[in-house]
Structure 1
Amino acid sequence: MSFDPVSAVREILPRVTEALDGAGVTGDDAIREYAKAAITELVREYVDRHALAGKRVPSLVEERLLAQAVYDEIFELGRLQPFVNDPDVENIDVNGCDQVWITYCDGRKVLGPPCADSDEELVENVRRWAAYQGQTARDFSIARPRLHLSVGHRTRMAALMGVTPRPSLSIRRHGMLDADLDDLVLNGTVDKGLRAFLGAAVRAHKDIVITGGMGDGKTTFARALAGEIDPDERIATVEKEYELFLHLQIDRHRDVLALEAREGNTEGLGAITMHQLIEDALRFNARRIIVGEVRGDEMVPMLEAMNTGGNGSICTMHADSADQVFARMLILAGSGGLAIAPDTLFRTIGMAVDFVVHLRHELCHGMDGLVNRRYVAEVNEVLPPGDGMEPAVNHVYVPGPDGRAVPNTIPQCMDELVAAGFDSDMFVSRAWSGGFS
């Protein structure tokens, strides 16, 4: 009789969660260490029990893999974890326990193995992950059927139940956690001239809004821009769920205040919004504030932070084109319930934001098949409103013949960029060049 690891995990798992629930241990590191010890002991008990019953027991190698599988069910993503560990995987979409779609970085999409034995087990798995992942436990139930969670250091998960025919998950895997602007030159996101321009803009404490559609690489780009910040400069990151992870890059950023919003309980109490956290960041002496994604009422405090105390701040925002940015900001401010006149908002934007960097991505046919290419398409300098209501714009970089950004208009702040190390001779009209193949 062969050893069945799935059945073994199913047998051991409830005893581990029972031990964790009754341990009274607090703190993520302490909980994980306690869990490892408990799993080791319970796996050993499982092996001894099956040996006494004359059943097939795992080898030492299988025993270690079994312990890891139990740990993954609680603190990672169970049967999905091998795909999360695969650097070629970009997204995982689950439409019920047996419909698992894996999307790779090259655009391939394949049907993966079931992630649970039933939809009920899948829901229990998600509840367990929500209980042990992140800074605070998050509810996943009929009363709270929507879940957004940062899992580990490279994964963002969204889950639904009750409002879909079957429980559903979408998992986004962050592949370039240590990316800097030089890496973006190598993968073709920017050329050498634009890399130098953007690096100088960050060093000159210019406030930058990164825009793009879903999957265009906005978070990776924000992380790469942050790599130009002096390692000892105090940074605050504000996110709905952790995705930037600058606080884990202690060799690159030594003074980071990482803030994560918190949902309220089932009665709606105890919520901490991104709006509140941006205000807190200024009180905690942050020189720069980086917002993972502006989605609503945090728009105005983010602009105020850029305008009053957080010079050199960065945020990302969904927009399908650079021309939509200001209208999109107005919509976001309104969706957050803020009663602010458009002309007031636009004046604030004109005074607060220095540059808008717009990203695009496309699937192209390369020598090795489909290639998923992300690139900067435009860079606009933002200025206070002139003749119209909206902020004035200098189209500093515009799409070239292939859609990628090429120099167009010298920005008004060029002298400041030169003082920050930019060689103005690199700003010449030319086709895309350097680092792209």
Structure 2
Amino acid sequence: LLAARTGSAERTFTSAHPALHLRLEDGSRLAAVAWTTPKPHVVIRRHRVRDVDLDDLVGLGTVDSVLAGFLRAAVRAGKNIVVTGLQNAGKTTLIRALANEFDPMERFATIEKEYELYLHDLPARHPRVVALEAREGSAEKDAAGHRAGEVSLSDLVVDALRLNLRRIIVGEVRGPEVLPMLEAMSTGDGSLCTLHARSASHAVDRIVTLCLSAGVHMTDTFAYRLLAGSVDLFVHIELLTDGGRRWRFVSQVLEANGLGENNRPATTTVFGPGPDGRAVPLHRPSSLADLVRAGFDEHLLDHRYGTWATSLDGAR
């Protein structure tokens, strides 16, 4: 019944299409599989933190005041940021917090498989956001294998590029939409996206792999060049679990510095894991002057061990 609902959230869930990914009315995400398993399996993910900013994340122990100041300035300076992490690490929450540093009158787009950011539900913060959601289409396919009525993330990124927007946020890059997303970053100002990756450095190769999968005439050399000219920062968020306890925190920030040796992007580890894994300042970024102009206090980077308010045992 849920899959058969009319409207933009309609999805096909049959023996011919045995996987379902659906946005529920309360904003939760439902994932289900059937027919390919002995019994159906359903998972519902709820996002409890929607209206959140970087100061809130300091209170939650996700970032410290040094990281908050750095990321706030990076957003205001128009840096293109890729947030990386494993499933449930808190990538979406961090993207929300970064987006809430936008000027309220900025026009920008959110592009998602299913609505998850819900920035369009915060009119006081984002009165001019353009929220776009992909459409799966019907079970019927044309000669090229496309579903009738399907609107993909790639389609939406291309559409957004024509809307005279300053920024684009892609909820999660995981397929051919990586190419138009990198194009948007290379020509735009301060776009954001999330990427499933084990580390910030792993994200570089993940993006190149996605580019090679998406482009018929793509080469790894061109993919690395495209990446180096598009992304400014990789921010990695970590999830640690111990029994029933969970800790979410930023562990690494890499700055991309164009092409380096072997035609691979050169990177600087601005923040790296400290003694307990949480990010601490390591090196000055090459874009420090841009960040200072955007309000960053460069002396915050003198805090060798950061300014984390609690021990890891006290951070949730």
Q: CA deviation at 1:262?
A: 0.9
Q: 1:153 to 1:253 in 2, by over 3 A?
A: farther
Aligned residues: 305
1:81-160 matches, within 5 Å, as: 128-132=1-5, 135-160=8-33
Residue 236 of structure 1 is matched in structure 2 by 109
Aligned 8 A contact 1:239 1:292 in 2: yes
Q: Are 2:174 and 1:301 equivalent residues in the alignment?
A: no
Q: Are 2:228 and 1:350 equivalent residues in the alignment?
A: yes
Residue 286 of structure 1 is matched in structure 2 by 165
Partner Cα distance (2:21, 2:217) in 1: 28
Q: Are 2:297 and 1:419 equivalent residues in the alignment?
A: no
Aligned 8 A contact 1:297 1:334 in 2: no
Residue 274 of structure 2 is matched in structure 1 by 400
Residue 207 of structure 1 is matched in structure 2 by 80
Residue 340 of structure 1 is matched in structure 2 by 218
Q: Deviations over 1:110-138 (max 9, x none)?
A: xxxxxxxxxxxxxxxxxx11233762421
Q: Deviations over 1:36-89 (max 9, x none)?
A: xxxxxxxxxxxxxxxxxxxxxxxxxxxxxxxxxxxxxxxxxxxxxxxxxxxxxx
Residue 131 of structure 2 is matched in structure 1 by 258
Query: What is the identity percentage for the equivalent residue pairs of Structure 1 and Structure 2?
Result: 48
Structure of greater Rg: 1
1:158-237 matches, within 5 Å, as: 158-237=31-110
Task: State the AA in 1 paired with 2:120.
Answer: H
Residue 143 of structure 2 is matched in structure 1 by none
Q: CA deviation at 1:166?
A: 1.0
Classify the secondary structure of the residue corresponding to 1:383: strand
Q: CA deviation at 1:330?
A: 1.7
Q: CA deviation at 1:388?
A: 2.1
Aligned pair partner of 2:153 in 262, 271, 274:
274
Residue 378 of structure 1 is matched in structure 2 by 252
Q: 1:205 to 1:153 in 2, by over 3 A?
A: farther
By percentage of residues, which structure has more helix? Answer: 1
Classify the secondary structure of the residue corresponding to 1:230: coil
Aligned pair partner of 1:431 in 274, 290, 305:
305
Structure with more contact order per residue of length (Cα contacts < 8 Å, sep ≥ 6):
2
Task: State the AA in 1 paired with 2:158.
Answer: E
Q: CA deviation at 1:336?
A: 3.4
Residue 122 of structure 2 is matched in structure 1 by 249
Aligned pair partner of 1:325 in 191, 194, 203:
203
Q: CA deviation at 1:145?
A: 1.2
TM-score normalised by the chain length of structure 1: 0.68
Provide the aligned C-alpha RMSD in A: 1.5
Aligned 8 A contact 1:398 1:405 in 2: yes
Unpaired runs of 5+ residues, structure 1, are 1-127
